[in-house]
Amino acid sequence: MVDLVYGLGITDILRDFPAHFRMLTKYVSIKLFKSKPFIYGSADIINVCNLHCSHCYWWKTRRNEKDELSVEDWRTIIKNTFKKHHVYVVTLVGGEPLLREDVIRTFCDEMPRRVCVVTNGTYPLPRLKNLYFYWVSLDGTQQIHDSIRGKGSYEKTKKNILNYVKGPDRNGKPAWKDIWITMTINSFNYKTIEDLVSEWKGVINKIGFQFHTPFGDNDPLWLPYGEIRNQVVDTLIQLQKKYPDFIMNTQRQLELMKGSWGGVSNTPIDCPSWAILSLDHKGQTKHPCCIGSSDPNAIKPICEKCGIGCYSILVAQGLNNK
């Protein structure tokens, strides 16, 4: 089946026509009336992670709160937020969301085919009837990924992906369609992009790239603007031209990644941060965006050096903060 939009074919679009139509009307009202509706959602469904990756924003703002929300708490939050605002897709993050399969199932029940799970993939990936797809994080090829995410993590994740892909069809589609890889590019791993693409092309559905976003000025993982970063982006654009169905970033979005597109210092200026309703593990709204925090005193991301994919793609589509 031919993909028309984000891995969906014509049958998928017709089946969920109301959701697609609502999204279309939101885009029209943004363009015509400068309205600022929530289009997407993100939820940190858990305040725990089994890894401690060197680049991770979540650990920077994590509060040491042990009590988690129950499934019923989340059901109420989903109704009062994401469903109320008719968000198109909600992305479940954390922490590591696969440690709360009960909450993932609740989201899938409430918002069938409108839920993505972003996971480190170190736990087996459950086959969930109403999931949209998995974003599995791989931060380069094995050695460099392990240097960021911990020894042995690449092997575990690879095994879990391959086991999933070997498994039965889901809703009449082959299992490989459910797996999308996300790589966060930084100054340590940028040389492994092409090898990662070669390793996974033909095995999983799609790969998306974003750039590491720092929270401090001297973060060695940030790939500075300039010659090397431009070359990295040009390589990604060449790969995108070669494999347009596999690399999910648009060329316009990749071009933005060469420089500052989001804001000044810690303040979003052009970034349409309003478009994604982002909740933390207590269901409270995070600011300024999904990598921020609900705590106003928490350390903030540097908008001027932002490389976050889900917002830059909106800018590339013509959305802004005006």
Ligand X SMILES: C[S@@+](CC[C@H](N)C(=O)[O-])C[C@H]1O[C@@H](n2cnc3c(N)ncnc32)[C@H](O)[C@@H]1O
Residues that bind ligand SF4 (CB under 6 A): 49, 51-53, 56, 58-59, 94-96, 120, 149, 213, 262-263, 268, 271, 273, 288-289, 291, 301, 303, 306, 308, 311
Q: Which residues 149-188 are close enough to bind ligand X by CB under 6 A?
A: 182, 184
- Choose between 48 and 264: whose C-beta lies nearer to ligand X: 48
The answer to whether residue 212 forms part of the interface with ligand X (CB under 6 A) is: yes
Phi-psi region of 95 (alpha: psi -120 to 50; beta: other; left: phi over 0): left
Give the span between the Cα atoms of 39 and 274, in whole angstroms: 9
Q: Which residues 93-112 are close enough to bind ligand X by CB under 6 A?
A: 93-94, 96
Q: At 107, is the secondary structure helix, strand, or coil?
A: helix
- Which two three-digit tokens encode residue 10? 């014509």
Q: What DSSP string runs through 34-91?
A: ------EEEEE--S--S---TT-SHHHH-----PPPPHHHHHHHHIIIIITTT-SEEE
- Choose between 110 and 137: whose C-beta lies nearer to ligand SF4: 137
Q: Give min distance, CB of 4 to ligand SF4, in A.
A: 27
Choose one: 10-18, 35-43, 51-59, 71-79; the region binding ligand X (CB under 6 A): 51-59
Q: Are 254 and 236 in contact (CB under 8 A)?
A: yes
The answer to whether residue 58 forms part of the interface with ligand X (CB under 6 A) is: yes
Q: Give min distance, CB of 249 to ligand SF4, in A.
A: 15
Residues forming beta bridges with residue 43, ordered by sequence position? 92, 279
Residue 303 partner contact from ligand X, ligand SF4, none using kind-dependent CB cut-offs of 5 to 8 Å: ligand SF4
Give the span between the Cα atoms of 180 and 208, in whole angstroms: 8
Q: Are 238 and 194 in contact (CB under 8 A)?
A: no
Residue 283 partner contact from ligand X, ligand SF4, none using kind-dependent CB cut-offs of 5 to 8 Å: none
Q: Give min distance, CB of 169 to ligand SF4, in A.
A: 29
The answer to whether residue 47 forms part of the interface with ligand X (CB under 6 A) is: no
The answer to whether residue 55 forms part of the interface with ligand X (CB under 6 A) is: yes
Residue 249 partner contact from ligand X, ligand SF4, none using kind-dependent CB cut-offs of 5 to 8 Å: none
- Choose between 49 and 298: whose C-beta lies nearer to ligand SF4: 49
- Choose between 253 and 273: whose C-beta lies nearer to ligand SF4: 273
Q: Give min distance, CB of 55 to ligand X, in A.
A: 5
Cα distances from 47 to residues 234, 265, 308, in angstroms, run 37, 28, 21
Residue 99 partner contact from ligand X, ligand SF4, none using kind-dependent CB cut-offs of 5 to 8 Å: none
Q: Are 248 and 310 in contact (CB under 8 A)?
A: no
Q: Which of 38, 57, 200, 209 binds ligand X (CB under 6 A)?
A: 57
- Which two three-digit tokens encode residue 40? 């997407």
Q: 310: how many CB neighbours lie within 10 A of its CB?
A: 18
